Structure 1
Amino acid sequence: MKTVFSIIVILIFSNILGQDQNNLVGNPSFESIDGKLKKLTQINIAKGWYSPTALRADLFSKDKEGDIGVPDNFYGKEHAKDGENYAGIVAYSYNNNKPRTYLQSKLTKSLAGGVDYCVKFNVSLSDLSKYAIDKIGIHFGSDAVSLDRKGDIIFSDKSGEFEHIITPMGGKVLSARYNWETVCGIYKADGKEKYITIGNFYNGKDTKAEKLKKLENFSGAQFPEAYYYIDQIEVVLVNDETECDCVDDSKVKKEAVVYSSMEVGDISDLTNEQKLERLKVYFDIESSSIEDSYVSNLEKVVQVLKENSTLKLQINGHTDKSEKEAINSDPENEKLINLGNYRAINVRNYLVKKGINSSRLTPLDAGAENPASPGLSRLSLAKNRRVEFIITK
């Protein structure tokens, strides 16, 4: 068993190492620090990172408290997307009252001309931001962009630099607080690009800014700006655009899969265990609502319980791997954290409404630990979003 465990650990480590080696961004999650983090505006102590203007960006760490802590800090509360640290920048301010800040780094090697790169970085709007914008992006350049004073780096239309920027798909305004959103796109390199800069390079009139209401659970005044936490930046060579899984969140829900099991058919000659094995209920992505197509299965469960008055069931609510990862990204989202339990409870409540005594039904959050299908395809994940019935007596 020790040998098997060692092999698994080596394989996992090798996979992670391979991903890191493919990423052309050094220190992509700001985990490597050279110096003592004491206050805001210290992005320069994250190895390989700096700011191209006189006003530095911020660095936050789980090892610290107060203004520069993780998850709680000067601008709000957010857990790291990856590791224990993340950066923060001012991407917009009302009437340009506060200078913007930027992140900059030199890639581990220059980009090759005519080649596609999958580009991703994760952002989370700080809780005390009064505005959210659409124009936060990542710029690629053969030279480092710089400004020898505090101020905004604004490109002109004639500069041609906008062709070297990846911004949110479809002009999406990034307004998620208490969560991370991924800015993702394909960048076809001209060749020789070796610097990345993250921030807002558009003037105020070309930046869509949405005004947000203050979150109820935060004290203090909102900041009249759009302040974003930044984490987990990736620039990876791809042979085909389909290798870069940039997906618009709005499309994910439209394309969601609810597994359609085979017709249950006649189960009268089966044992109770065999009947219940066939009567699973499947769910949509991040949903605990019972689909109409599975009401007939539940009616058959009701029939089994009424024909066997002493039968008691444990109702196991399962989630899939993608939902588990969503919980890791948003660890305070009560809906996600309790999703398996909510699925089990909703099924229990349906059975109770049909006349089954609740004392015979025990809902259980089974999580994502026992998948029905080991794969990661949309169909495999759909098979894992389920409720199963286990006879306990």
Structure 2
Amino acid sequence: MTRNTIIFLFLSFNIFSQNLIKNPSFESISTDCVRKISRLGNSVEYWDTANFGTTDVFSSCANNHVGVPKNYNGFQEAKHGYNYAGCYFYSKDNRNYREYIQGELKTTLEKGKKYEVAFYISLADVSDYAIKNIDFYFSNRNVIAGTLDAISINRMSRYRDFILHFYKIENEEFYRNKNSWIKLSKVITAKGYENNITIGNFEKDSEISKVKIKRKDQKVS
């Protein structure tokens, strides 16, 4: 299967060195250990998906296909703690299929104040493509769209009592690093209603920038 998988490690959301994301490195889980795929929304506290996509969580306690550092996507150490999350941001074989992560903030952001949003990503070893389209939006509450496809901002704006603001991360280079974690960041000015953050690829396949790259297979022993 041809696939483009981005593995998230750690989401940090800082102001004056204070992290305002709940459970930012996916360490707090509702079971002793997550050992199955597609369990982020069911097992990781304060985190969910934003559509019907099957976002994964990987952990060093698993010692199998969702382990750390070895798993079904290859090999990657955790940057902080023992866990990280994994999302499909593009799949050549599944048109417009997307996975997202959606997390809760510790407190509503203060209107007019500047905040830095920062998180780390690493491309999975088995990926055949790299992309540029990794962005985020803040919202007043959690909403899960009833689709497996890319969720457009226009679609999400139609939900009742749901307010969001979309932020694009400008980047000239493709996110193609399979060996290390790279930092993505953006400074935003709060609107005053932000309680949740959602990260992913919000573009349709026809609108994204991608490049084919060499696969680096890594079998799980």
Secondary structure of 2:171's aligned partner: helix
Match of 2:152 among 146, 151, 154: 154
C-alpha distance in 1, partners of 2:65/2:95? 21
Could you tell me which residue of structure 2 aligns to residue 26 of structure 1? 22
Could you tell me which residue of structure 1 aligns to residue 7 of structure 2? none
Higher relative contact order (CA 8 A, sep 6+): 2
Could you tell me which residue of structure 1 aligns to residue 83 of structure 2? 85
1:283-308: CA deviation from partner (whole Å, max 9, x where unpaired): xxxxxxxxxxxxxxxxxxxxxxxxxx
Could you tell me which residue of structure 1 aligns to residue 60 of structure 2? 62
Could you tell me which residue of structure 2 aligns to residue 40 of structure 1? 37
Could you tell me which residue of structure 1 aligns to residue 171 of structure 2? 170
C-alpha distance in 1, partners of 2:53/2:25? 21
Q: Unaligned regions of 5+ residues in structure 2, if any?
A: 1-13, 158-162
C-alpha distance in 2, partners of 1:219/1:37? 20
C-alpha distance in 2, partners of 1:20/1:90? 32
Q: Unaligned regions of 5+ residues in structure 1, if any?
A: 1-17, 221-393
Q: From the two aligned structures, give the one with the greater helix fraction.
A: 1
C-alpha distance in 1, partners of 2:112/2:71? 42
Instruction: Quote how far apart the aligned CAs of 1:96 are.
Output: 4.0
Instruction: Quote how far apart the aligned CAs of 1:99 are.
Output: 2.2
Q: Are the counterparts in 2 of residues 166 and 187 from structure 1 also a CA contact under 8 Å?
A: no
TM-score normalised over the length of structure 1: 0.47
Instruction: Quote how far apart the aligned CAs of 1:48 are.
Output: 0.8
Is 1:114 matched with 2:112? Answer: yes
Q: Are the counterparts in 2 of residues 155 and 202 from structure 1 also a CA contact under 8 Å?
A: no
Pair 170,163 (structure 1): closer, same or farther in 2 beyond 3 Å: farther
Is 1:51 matched with 2:49? Answer: yes
Q: Are the counterparts in 2 of residues 50 and 56 from structure 1 also a CA contact under 8 Å?
A: no
Pair 67,20 (structure 1): closer, same or farther in 2 beyond 3 Å: farther
Q: From the two aligned structures, give the one with the greater strand fraction.
A: 2
User: What is the one-letter code of the residue matched to 2:34?
Assistant: L
Instruction: Quote how far apart the aligned CAs of 1:205 are.
Output: 2.6
Secondary structure of 2:65's aligned partner: helix
Is 1:142 matched with 2:168? Answer: no
Pair 189,153 (structure 1): closer, same or farther in 2 beyond 3 Å: same
Identity %: 31
Could you tell me which residue of structure 1 aligns to residue 188 of structure 2? 187
The total of aligned residue pairs comes to: 199
Instruction: Quote how far apart the aligned CAs of 1:19 are.
Output: 8.6
Q: Are the counterparts in 2 of residues 59 and 68 from structure 1 also a CA contact under 8 Å?
A: yes
Could you tell me which residue of structure 2 aligns to residue 202 of structure 1? 203
Instruction: Quote how far apart the aligned CAs of 1:204 are.
Output: 1.9
Pair 119,19 (structure 1): closer, same or farther in 2 beyond 3 Å: closer
Is 1:213 matched with 2:211? Answer: no
CA-based RMSD of the aligned residues comes to: 2.6
User: What is the one-letter code of the residue matched to 2:199?
Assistant: I
C-alpha distance in 1, partners of 2:79/2:15? 16
The structure having more radius of gyration, on CA atoms, is: 1
Which deviates the most, 56-65 or 144-153? 144-153
Secondary structure of 1:66's aligned partner: coil
Could you tell me which residue of structure 2 aligns to residue 127 of structure 1? 125
Q: Are the counterparts in 1 of residues 52 and 144 from structure 2 also a CA contact under 8 Å?
A: no
Q: Are the counterparts in 1 of residues 52 and 147 from structure 2 also a CA contact under 8 Å?
A: yes
Instruction: Quote how far apart the aligned CAs of 1:79 are.
Output: 0.3
Matches within 5 A, 1:225-236: none
1:15-47: CA deviation from partner (whole Å, max 9, x where unpaired): xxx999821101100111112412110002111
C-alpha distance in 1, partners of 2:150/2:185? 23
C-alpha distance in 1, partners of 2:94/2:208? 12
Q: Are the counterparts in 2 of residues 166 and 184 from structure 1 also a CA contact under 8 Å?
A: no
1:296-353: CA deviation from partner (whole Å, max 9, x where unpaired): xxxxxxxxxxxxxxxxxxxxxxxxxxxxxxxxxxxxxxxxxxxxxxxxxxxxxxxxxx
1:346-381: CA deviation from partner (whole Å, max 9, x where unpaired): xxxxxxxxxxxxxxxxxxxxxxxxxxxxxxxxxxxx
C-alpha distance in 2, partners of 1:110/1:170? 28
